[in-house]
Amino acid sequence: EEVIFSGIQPTGIPHIGNYLGAIKHWVAMQEKPATIYYSIVDMHSVTIPKDKSVLQNHILDMTACLLACGIDPKRSVLFQQSDVLEHSALSWLLGCQVPLNQLRKLPQWKEKTENLKHGGYLGVFSYPVLQTADILLYKTTHVPAGEDQAVHLELTNMVASLFNNFYGVFFPKVSLFSDRASARIRNLRDPTVKMSKSKGGKHTRIELTDTDDQIVNSVKKALTDFTSEVTYDPVNRPGVANLIEIHSGFTGLSTDEICQNSKQLDTGEYKLVVADAVIGAIRPIRDEYLRLRSDEGHLKDILRLGHEKAQETASRNWNEIRQLVGMTL
Ligand code: TYM
């Protein structure tokens, strides 16, 4: 049986990288005959502490955004990670078998720790172990996510096989589901790095609730190069390739088709075509978001329902894990 799990940090309004790399696939996968869990991973987001009301708002923003994108709570279990305590419990247990050197290699740790005199935070270091627990707790088989999550999936499979070898086979193998063209949408002002929710200022990303004008502006300001034709060359022309990938992600046209259709355009004119495609796709999401966000009671009800369903599986699996380990008498 297929079990799908994925998570997103409540660190602000999701951007079009989150949408094309992950959320779009989350929505599409609801057509499959699978059990599906989508989690707002608030425990991961507190590795960078913030004000209480900011976190609360971000959780509600994310819930409204995911619903506006088409996550259907009747089809998918949409829940808040910290509601299910078993994530932390399993994280501890799995962490007991994770070699430190494995974690030191991961890009996120290196990035966030570089300039810290005290050597970095435990939560940032063990972040990938908690992610492993999220995934394995539901005996997940498929994780739809962007390319940046591939290293975490490798760790997950490694940890699962260490557990299975020692305690007996329990966790299935997990595969990453990602779409090559949109698995890594880049920062609009600096196409050498990925588009990010937390890093980079104005016009580096397009958020799902941006206005039409903001979208046009950000696309117009996107860094390209001095060649005027529209060609797809991610290595030598990363800025233009990024626009083509965004365009492709929102229209379903292939990168070849897009270049064919854009033969008469220079990159400046092409930007307006891209902006139109983004606006067309985002406008209904933005409108639905604003409608949903005004009813917090409804959003909380959906998370409560999601918690109940996730909890049922989590409790059952955690109990079996405790038995395998010898924690139940
Ligand atoms: P997060 O919150 O950073 O991102 C959520 C999802 O969006 C994808 N993504 C992108 N895809 C394409 N281009 C981009 N520029 C881009 N930026 C982000 C991410 O790959 C992700 O799929 N560690 C995870 C959260 C997490 C998780 C999990 C994911 C916790 N537990 C279990 C999957 C399974 C994260 O920080 O995602």
Taking 90 as the threshold, does the pLDDT of residue 27 lie above it?
A: yes
The active-site residue out of 24, 139, 197, 271 is 197
- Active-site residue, selected from the candidate residues 112, 220, 300, 309: 112
Does ligand 1 have an atom closer than 6 angstroms to the CB of 21? Answer: yes
Write the pLDDT tens digit of every residue in 286-306.
999 999 999 999 999 999 999
**pLDDT at 180 > cutoff 80:** no
Question: Does the annotation mark 300 as catalytic?
Answer: no
Spatial contact of 293 and 73, defined as CB atoms under 8 Å apart: no
Cα 9 to ligand 1 centre (Å):
7
pTM for the whole structure: 0.96
Spell out the residues 6+ positions from residue 59 whose beta carbon is closer than 8 angstroms to its own.
Answer: 10, 40, 42, 80, 303
ipTM greater than 0.90, yes or no? yes
- Out of 24, 139, 194, 271, the active site residue is 194
Degrees (nearest 5) of the Cα angle 194, 60, 297? 160
Is 112 known to be catalytic? yes
Joined tokens for residue 210: 């941006």
Name the 3-class secondary structure at 257.
Answer: helix
**Which of 18, 25, 124 has most ligand 1 atoms within 8 Å of its beta carbon, as the pocket-test mutant?**
18
The Cα–Cα gap between 26 and 7 comes to 10
Task: Give per-residue pLDDT as tens, 66-111.
Answer: 999 999 999 999 999 999 999 999 999 999 999 999 999 998 888 8
The structural domains of the chain, ordered by start, are 3-177+296-325 (3.40.50.620), 212-290 (1.10.240.10)
First-to-last alpha carbon distance for the chain, in angstroms, is: 30
CB count within 10 Å of CB 150 equals 14
Cβ–ligand 1 contact at 14 (below 6 Å): no
Question: Atom 20, ligand 1: which residue's CA is nearest?
Answer: 146
Contact 64, 293 (CB under 8 A): yes
d(CA 259, CA 214): 25
